[in-house]
Structure 1
Amino acid sequence: MASRRRVRPVLKWIAGVVSGFVILSMLLVVLFRWADPPGSAVMAQHWVTAHFEGAKAPYVYHEWVDWDLIPAEVALAVLASEDQRFPTHRGFDLVELRKAVETFKGGGRLRGASTISQQTAKNLFLWSGRDFLRKGLEVWFTFLIETFWSKQRILEVYLNIAQFGPETYGVGAASWRYFSRPVAAVKGDDAALLAAVLPNPNIYRLDEPSPKVQRRAARIAKQMHQLGGTRYLKRLSGTKN
């Protein structure tokens, strides 16, 4: 009986912490359905690390750009590169997950199969890394944004917080830093080039695109055409055409 009395407060405390986290996370996701986030958890992590390592300011380049000012070609290029099933899945691409598992079982490298929804959840609310706690929280936040946000909103936030170069987050900052113009003026080949660096923007560079990056951009441009061009974005129930 005494042991039960000691355990009961602990269980009550754990239940309170879990309940508080669930409520707070839901409130944050609902808030960002309408309010534009000023940054992301990954940006904050980068800022703190750069600050304490003595790097030169600015530690982060970032500029929010509303959906209506992002060219359709840029949005389409990112979908073609990162997540072509984005309009139809519910946050998790089971087809790509199955392929990744089969490749690993066949002796290949275990590759990532994260969707744009998962990457948005991770970048906005969590931290970089591959630990199980972060992956579990990523599943939870992915479920929340897929529940409370539209597909258009998820893609809008992703385009504004994804890393496109060292210290550079979002298509707005990337366009100014590497193309010397606002993202609204980015078209065609440059849109594909932006998307081409997303797998590893610290290695794949926009300022000095390697032959590999240029080949990736060419493949992305081809896939944009195969998807039907910018008409594909109508599947998001958005405004681009």
Structure 2
Amino acid sequence: MKKIRLIALTSVMYFFVYTIQIVIVHRFVNPVVTPLMIWRVAQGVFGADHSLVIHKTWKPIEKISPNMVYAVMASEDQRFLQHNGFEWDAIKKAMAYNKKHKGKKMKGASTISQQTAKNVFLFPSRTWIRKGAEMYFTFLIEVIWSKERIMEVYLNIIELGDGIYGVEAASEIYFKTTALKLSKKRAASLAAILPLPLEWSPTKPGRYTANRIIKIEAQMNSVEQPSWLLKSK
């Protein structure tokens, strides 16, 4: 029993040391590939209708239009600058909704921090273990990274189409421009498809997506401006 306890304690210690180290590394080193990218390619290899090519071009936050920052905050996480990684009231409401509407599409309440943690460190899954790991990594990046770094990583790894990751690649493919030159309308169009990037299009939106674009563009003016964007003006 002593050996078992020692092995368990050592394993837990190594887990915490490793995960903290990898989060520190990604505070300064940009992720080359994410588990989601690998997963999508694997799905394509085994017959799913997914691209086997990964389109991505990393851009520092200074090379991404502020319009894109405001758009994702307006659509995904309006209190991004205030919370510590979690919106507990929204989580409770989502849990209550999902419990009441079993069998239907589940409602999420993930913040930008949670989405970043999930995409950088974890493979897609809907298990409670994966959700627990997501909360753990969200806590780590909120402590170790800055909000600016979280946003920078998020904007460079989010899925925005089949094989399209990050706003630079999406800007080039959809609009033939760079992320730095995104207009409010185009930024809102990209943000609008984030819930279902493999089904919705920013250039040929259906009625629902078109309404999302209008709503997001209107809300972009009311979100709080990050300090790092104000300093760059």
Query: TM exceeds 0.5?
Result: yes
| Other-structure match for 2:179 | 183
Do the aligned residues in 2 keep the contact of 1:33 with 1:148 (CA within 8 Å)?
A: yes
Unpaired segments of 5 or more residues in structure 1? Answer: 1-6
Alignment counterpart, residue 92 of structure 1, candidates 86, 89, 108: 86
Separation in structure 2 between the aligned mates of residue 150 and residue 58 of structure 1, nearest angstrom: 33
| Other-structure match for 1:8 | 2
Q: Which runs of 4+ in 1 moved over 6 A?
A: 54-57
Unpaired segments of 5 or more residues in structure 2? Answer: none
Residue type at the aligned position of 1:218: I
Q: Equivalences for 1:99-110 in 2 at 5 Å?
A: 99-104=93-98, 110=106
Alignment counterpart, residue 158 of structure 2, candidates 143, 159, 162: 162
Q: Equivalences for 1:69-148 in 2 at 5 Å?
A: 69-104=63-98, 110-148=106-144
Residue type at the aligned position of 1:93: E
| Other-structure match for 1:68 | 62
| Other-structure match for 1:198 | 194
Give 1 or 2 for the bigger CA radius of gyration.
Answer: 1
| Other-structure match for 1:48 | 42
Aligned-residue sequence identity (percent) comes to 35
Separation in structure 1 between the aligned mates of residue 208 and residue 228 of structure 2, nearest angstrom: 30
Residue type at the aligned position of 2:222: Q
**Kindly tell me: are residues 13 and 237 of structure 1, through their superposed partners in 2, closer, same or farther at Cα, counting changes over 3 Å?**
farther
Alpha-carbon offset, residue 114 of structure 1: 0.6
Do the aligned residues in 1 keep the contact of 2:41 with 2:50 (CA within 8 Å)?
A: no
**Kindly tell me: are residues 105 and 41 of structure 1, through their superposed partners in 2, closer, same or farther at Cα, counting changes over 3 Å?**
closer
Separation in structure 1 between the aligned mates of residue 46 and residue 96 of structure 2, nearest angstrom: 42
How many matched pairs?
A: 231
Separation in structure 2 between the aligned mates of residue 193 and residue 56 of structure 1, nearest angstrom: 22
Residue type at the aligned position of 2:84: R
**Aligned with 2:30: secondary structure?**
coil
Alignment counterpart, residue 211 of structure 2, candidates 210, 215, 220: 215
Do the aligned residues in 2 keep the contact of 1:79 with 1:86 (CA within 8 Å)?
A: yes
Separation in structure 2 between the aligned mates of residue 138 and residue 105 of structure 1, nearest angstrom: 21
Separation in structure 2 between the aligned mates of residue 56 and residue 38 of structure 1, nearest angstrom: 20
Separation in structure 2 between the aligned mates of residue 104 and residue 46 of structure 1, nearest angstrom: 27
**Aligned with 1:143: secondary structure?**
helix
Alpha-carbon offset, residue 207 of structure 1: 4.1
Quick check: 1:171 aligned with 2:167?
yes
1:69-102 C-alpha deviation (Å, 9 max, x unpaired): 0000011100000000110100100121233244
TM-score normalized by the length of structure 1? 0.88
1:158-205 C-alpha deviation (Å, 9 max, x unpaired): 011111111111101111111111111111100100100001111112
TM-score normalized by the length of structure 2? 0.91
